[in-house]
């Protein structure tokens, strides 16, 4: 079992390395966008349009496609070889291509309805702009959907670094195009940058699948193929459940459109910052564990339970100190990243407040995301739908209660509370299916973690008290200050967890020290 956990951690570390690059570049793109457009009504319209066009990333790249394709593809690859797996991938590519074209066409037609649903508080000018931007950016959905299929193939082959780096290429293209065209094209330069980045993101992963011996080209689907039928039978309920999950950002933006101008933008900036730890740790671990869970023997409940328990513990081990740091120095981080150009005092305070509220939900997001991979691997679409429904219902309830007294900060906090609740629901349902408790939180583990976090918080508070953030200094000194806080607190957390004997450090040593090529499938870690 230690070997299996180290394999999961090793794959997660590859994902983290690529995702770190991607998310840092994602922050750079938001910094550049903020400098050009601030927290303005025009950017609100773009964010609504991009949210609609970007639903494929959560629905497909991080959701239904991985949930349905990866388990089936991994089993076919392991039991029947590469040729049968490649045939399945080509058939899936054809189905996805046709479905994607139809979805893009339908999205372009119904864009006015979608925008009015998402942003009912927009005035006519912002509504018209958002509709036009949505129509131009909807093809991004097709590009990211095809990139998601290529990512599923690569992950199943043991390749995790390149799929994690693909969004980084997309961000590089976006940054270059904004720098070149934002001054002359305005907000339309952002739309063009999104489309160009999506195309390059797909192109890189398609080329890498070909290099690894699988050519993703259309092949006429055989609807009598049991593997394809299995994939489609899983995809539809997962897509339905995850489509329901997309109601969450729609609800937040819908309600925020009734608040002061710029509310959507400050929430979007904060969400972009929170995507760094979310993608770097949570998504990386959940993507790494899905192929491994899918290859578990269906009757081996104990092995499945131990992999899930260890994955959840590892996710919390890395995300809890990040949560603490994000809450304690949210104002300083936002000032460093965004305060320049059109990004003024109100945008700074609003984004920092939203970030601290979003950060509180990181542990819940970690548990929810990882446990959903367990439900996918066990082929439990109804349970996954229940988890999603609990998240949506909680988001609506908490948003309505909190937006009055807390404005956009309440909407961000509502998202955090809903993820925490849905994570608990997911753990309960998965344990019920397995017939055993997952045993995530032992008394000893919780006590040691509480002590480590208290020491970490004390370090941050002592540092900020003795050396306050130098807001008036240059960017180099401010960057050094933020780095020093994170480095010192991370060092304290690392030392305390090491001395307290957390087994997560043994998993990391096993992942880093393991001989390359020992796994059965060659990937980037073995090249």
pTM: 0.68
The confidence score (pLDDT) of residue 515 equals 44
Residue 494 belongs to some domain of the structure:
no
Residue 253 belongs to some domain of the structure:
yes
Residue 447 belongs to some domain of the structure:
no
The full length of the chain comes to: 527
**Using alpha carbons only, what angle is made at residue 272 by residues 270 and 273, rounded to the nearest 5 degrees?**
65
What are the angstrom distances between the C-alpha of 18 and each of 191, 195, 274, 311, 491?
A: 25, 21, 17, 19, 23
Number of H helices, E strands in the chain: 22, 0
What are the angstrom distances between the C-alpha of 290 and each of 16, 91, 375, 483, 514?
A: 15, 22, 10, 33, 20
Distance CA 119, CA 44 (A): 9
Distance CA 3, CA 248 (A): 38
Handedness of CA 462, 466, 471, 474 (dihedral sign): negative
Residue 378 belongs to some domain of the structure:
yes
The confidence score (pLDDT) of residue 67 equals 64
Residue 144 belongs to some domain of the structure:
yes
First to last CA, the chain: 24
What are the angstrom distances between the C-alpha of 143 and each of 56, 57, 86, 290?
A: 9, 10, 20, 23
Range of the structural domain that residue 94 is part of: 2-441
DSSP single-letter state for residue 435: T
Alpha helices, DSSP H only, in 435-474?
443-466
Cβ atoms of 393 and 450 closer than 8 Å: no
Residue 499 belongs to some domain of the structure:
no
The confidence score (pLDDT) of residue 477 equals 92
Residue 477 belongs to some domain of the structure:
no
C-alpha 253 chain-centroid distance: 18
389-411 core/surface letters (b: 16 or more CB in 10 A; e: else): bbbbebbbebbeebbeeebbbbb
| Grouped pLDDT means (10 residues each) for the chain, 527 residues | 57 67 78 76 80 62 62 80 86 84 86 82 84 88 85 80 82 88 82 90 90 86 83 69 63 82 84 78 67 62 82 88 93 89 85 93 87 79 83 91 91 92 91 85 90 96 94 90 94 94 80 49 38
Distance CA 260, CA 443 (A): 45
The confidence score (pLDDT) of residue 512 equals 65
Residue 46 belongs to some domain of the structure:
yes
The confidence score (pLDDT) of residue 461 equals 95
Q: How many domains does the chain have?
A: 1
In 3D space, the residue among 150, 48, 25 whose CA is nearest the CA of residue 93 turns out to be 150
């Amino acid at each position: 079992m230690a070997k299996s956990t180290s394999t999961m951690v090793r794959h997660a570390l590859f994902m983290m390395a690529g995702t770190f690059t991607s998310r840092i570049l994602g922050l750079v793109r938001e910094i550049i966008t903020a400098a050009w457009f601030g927290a303005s009504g025009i950017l609100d319209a773009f964010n609504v349009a991009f949210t609609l066009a970007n639903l494929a990333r959560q629905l497909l790249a991080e959701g239904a496609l991985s949930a349905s394709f990866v388990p089936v593809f991994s089993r076919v690859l392991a039991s029947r070889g590469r040729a049968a797996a490649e045939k399945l991938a080509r058939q899936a590519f054809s189905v996805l291509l046709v479905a994607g074209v139809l979805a893009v066409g339908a999205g372009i037609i119904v864009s006015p309805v979608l925008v009015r649903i998402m942003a009912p508080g927009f005035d006519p000018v912002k509504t018209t702009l958002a509709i036009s931007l949505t129509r131009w950016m909807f093809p991004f959905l097709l590009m990211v959907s095809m990139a998601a299929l290529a990512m599923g193939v690569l992950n199943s082959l043991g390749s995790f670094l390149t799929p994690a780096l693909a969004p980084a290429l997309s961000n590089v293209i976006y940054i270059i195009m904004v720098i070149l065209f934002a001054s002359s094209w305005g907000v339309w330069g952002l739309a063009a940058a999104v489309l160009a980045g999506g195309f390059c993101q797909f192109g890189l992963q398609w080329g890498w699948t070909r290099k690894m011996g699988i050519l993703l080209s259309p092949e006429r689907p055989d609807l009598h193929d049991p593997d394809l039928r299995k994939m489609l039978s899983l995809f539809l309920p997962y897509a339905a459940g995850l489509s329901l999950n997309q109601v969450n950002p729609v609800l937040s933006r819908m309600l925020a459109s009734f608040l002061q101008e710029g509310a959507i933008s400050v929430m979007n900036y904060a969400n972009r910052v929170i995507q760094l730890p979310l993608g770097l740790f949570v998504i990386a671990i959940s993507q790494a564990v899905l192929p491994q869970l899918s290859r578990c023997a269906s009757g081996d409940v104990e092995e499945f339970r131990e992999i899930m328990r260890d994955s959840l513990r590892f996710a919390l081990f890395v995300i809890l100190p990040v949560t603490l740091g994000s809450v304690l120095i949210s104002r300083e981080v936002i000032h460093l990243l965004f305060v320049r150009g059109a990004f003024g005092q109100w945008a700074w305070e609003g984004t920092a407040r939203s970030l601290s509220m979003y950060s509180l939900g990181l542990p819940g997001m970690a548990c929810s995301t990882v446990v959903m991979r367990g439900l996918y691997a066990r082929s439990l679409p109804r349970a996954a739908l229940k988890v999603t429904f609990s998240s949506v219902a909680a988001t609506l309830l908490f948003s309505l209660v909190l937006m009055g007294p807390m404005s956009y900060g309440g909407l961000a906090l509502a998202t955090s509370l809903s993820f925490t609740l849905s994570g608990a629901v997911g753990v309960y349902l998965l344990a019920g299916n397995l017939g055993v408790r997952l045993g995530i939180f032992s008394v000893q583990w919780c006590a040691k973690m509480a002590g480590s976090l208290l020491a970490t918080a004390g370090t941050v508070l002592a540092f900020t008290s003795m050396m306050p953030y130098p807001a008036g200094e240059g960017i180099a000194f401010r960057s050094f200050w933020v780095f020093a806080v994170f480095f010192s607190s991370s060092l304290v957390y690392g030392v305390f967890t090491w001395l307290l004997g957390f087994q997560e450090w043994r998993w990391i040593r096993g992942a880093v020290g393991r001989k390359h090529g020992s796994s059965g499938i060659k990937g980037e870690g073995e090249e």
